[in-house]
Amino acid sequence: MIDFPSRDQTNKAIERLRRFVECESPSYDPVAIADGLELVRQELGASGFTIISSLQDMESGTFFAEFNDSGRLSGRPILIACHFDTVHPVGELSINPWRIEGDRCFGPGVLDMKGGIALAILAVELASKKLARPVRILMTSDEEIGSARSRERIEAHAFESLCVLVPEPARENGGLVVGRHAVQRYELQAKGMPFHAGRDPSRGQSAINLLARKIVSLEGQSRPDASISVGVISGGQWVNCVPEKANAEMICVTSDVKSREALRAIISQEQVENFKIIPGLERPAWVSSVKDHELYSLASRVASELRIKISPEISGGGSDGNFTGALGIPTLDGLGPCGEGAHTHSEHLHLSSFVPRAALFANILCRV
Ligand SMILES: [Zn+2]
């Protein structure tokens, strides 16, 4: 049994987390992402990992690293699927700077998922001498924008692995994730008719006006088992023109086949000649399998030995666990720390959850 990390080990992990958080890494910023991936490579190298990046990995904005205790370990590896990108633009640190206030540790991406990455590295360090098989970390950089580039690499690495562990934030009650709903992204395209807006706007047809009405109508039909949310809009070019084009991005999460059908019905009803709803990236539904539950049962036994409370949860939000879980590869998600405010200006994790969950993670690594 691996015990809780010492104060010294924990402090080092939190210091590493500070370096991760202070290296801002929004998905859309290739320079920031490159700096971020380089930082993690260095940190993993310092923790005894060997960096093994194929050209395919690098071209998809990912790299992977293996810990095999100087060649001692063999057999099918355990894969830890991580993403270093965040939804926070460079500069967010001035709004939500790295700081520790009591039990709360703040900063952009501190919970989703830089805290999870720091926790996973600490877990490998704690488990290093007791591991029975190699541990691999796959680090991607486009999870927050749908994992278009990295999906194929995630799936390829997962197929080579015994199981996949994902250090996304814990559920609010500390629960682990054993299944996730399907996530579908769409592009909305509204088309109008231009006219001189200063002369007589009523003689044109505003694409912005149409899009706005459609967004209100679509979001108005959002429901707990089929959520609809528009997060990005653009349109028009000159204020003195009735706008001809307006676009938006929409994300929908459905919990089962029935809700997916309900969503499809809403979408086909809202589509008209001048308004198109085009499907984009998808995260398939991850329906928990027997193997996922076996992995959870192992975690549950470890948790009760460590006197940590966990539960198996199905999560609404997507993660890269959707891909591996949907493929039937044993997957356990939500292994990161507990916290609040992911994707907001007050994102923080609870330090009191970091130590026990690092021990939980380390013991799972040794026993699978
Ligand atoms: Zn995440």
When pLDDT is cut at 50, 70 and 90, the band that residue 280 belongs to is very high
Question: Does the pLDDT at position 361 exceed 90?
Answer: yes
The span from the first CA to the last CA of the chain, in angstroms, equals 13
Distance (Å) from CA 112 to ligand 1 centroid: 5
Determine the pLDDT at residue 317. Answer: 86
For 325, phi and psi rounded to 5 degrees?
A: -65, -40
Distance (Å) from CA 169 to ligand 1 centroid: 7
Determine the pLDDT at residue 59. Answer: 87
Distance (Å) from CA 242 to ligand 1 centroid: 40
Distance (Å) from CA 135 to ligand 1 centroid: 20
**Measured CA distances, 154 to 9, 27, 57, 147 (Å):** 30, 17, 9, 9
Tokens 């001498």: give the residue: 129
Distance (Å) from CA 109 to ligand 1 centroid: 8
When pLDDT is cut at 50, 70 and 90, the band that residue 290 belongs to is very high
> Going by DSSP bridges, is the β-strand pair 78-83/135-140 parallel, antiparallel, or unpaired?
parallel
Distance (Å) from CA 177 to ligand 1 centroid: 13
Residue 249 corresponds to which amino acid? Answer: E
Determine the pLDDT at residue 70. Answer: 87
Q: Please state, rounded to an integer, the average pLDDT across all residues of the chain.
A: 96
Distance (Å) from CA 114 to ligand 1 centroid: 9
| 300 contacts: CB under 8 Å, gap ≥ 6 | 310, 312
Dihedral angle over CA of 316, 317, 319, 323, nearest 10: 40
pTM, two decimal places: 0.94
Nearest to 36 by CA among 80, 83, 93: 83
Determine the pLDDT at residue 57. Answer: 85
Determine the pLDDT at residue 19. Answer: 98
Average pLDDT rounded to a whole number, residues 12-37 = 97
Distance (Å) from CA 257 to ligand 1 centroid: 25
Q: What is the pLDDT of residues 37-91, one digit of tens each?
A: 999 999 999 999 999 978 888 889 999 999 999 899 999 999 999 999 999 999 9
For 137, phi and psi rounded to 5 degrees?
A: -115, 125
Distance (Å) from CA 199 to ligand 1 centroid: 49
Determine the pLDDT at residue 55. Answer: 84
Note the Cα 322 to chain centre separation in Å.
Answer: 10
| 253 contacts: CB under 8 Å, gap ≥ 6 | 181, 182, 183, 184, 226, 227, 316, 317, 318
Domains of the chain, earliest start first: 7-181+285-367 (3.40.630.10), 183-283 (3.30.70.360)
CA separation for the pair 58, 75 (Å, rounded): 25
Distance (Å) from CA 160 to ligand 1 centroid: 23
Residue 350 corresponds to which amino acid? Answer: H
Q: What is the DSSP letter of 111?
A: I
Q: How many CA atoms lie within 13 A of 234 on its CB side?
A: 3
Q: What is the pLDDT of residues 299-358, one digit of tens each?
A: 999 999 999 999 999 988 899 999 999 999 999 999 999 999 999 999 999 999 999 999
Q: For residue 153, count other CB atoms closer than 10 A to its CB.
A: 22
Question: Does the pLDDT at position 263 exceed 90?
Answer: yes
CA separation for the pair 243, 224 (Å, rounded): 34
Distance (Å) from CA 117 to ligand 1 centroid: 10
CA separation for the pair 69, 193 (Å, rounded): 65
Distance (Å) from CA 71 to ligand 1 centroid: 31
Enumerate the H helices of 128-256 as residue ranges.
151-159, 207-220
Distance (Å) from CA 119 to ligand 1 centroid: 14
When pLDDT is cut at 50, 70 and 90, the band that residue 112 belongs to is very high
CA separation for the pair 296, 179 (Å, rounded): 11
Determine the pLDDT at residue 78. Answer: 98
Distance (Å) from CA 272 to ligand 1 centroid: 35
SS3 166: coil
Q: What is the pLDDT of residues 130-185, one digit of tens each?
A: 999 999 999 999 999 999 999 999 999 999 999 999 999 999 899 999 999 999 99
Question: Does the pLDDT at position 222 exceed 90?
Answer: yes
When pLDDT is cut at 50, 70 and 90, the band that residue 16 belongs to is very high
* Angle at 85 (CA atoms; ends 82, 86), nearest 5 degrees: 115
Distance (Å) from CA 351 to ligand 1 centroid: 18
Distance (Å) from CA 163 to ligand 1 centroid: 19
What DSSP string runs through 283-311? E--BPPPHHHHHHHHHHHHHHHHHT----
Determine the pLDDT at residue 316. Answer: 82
Distance (Å) from CA 146 to ligand 1 centroid: 11
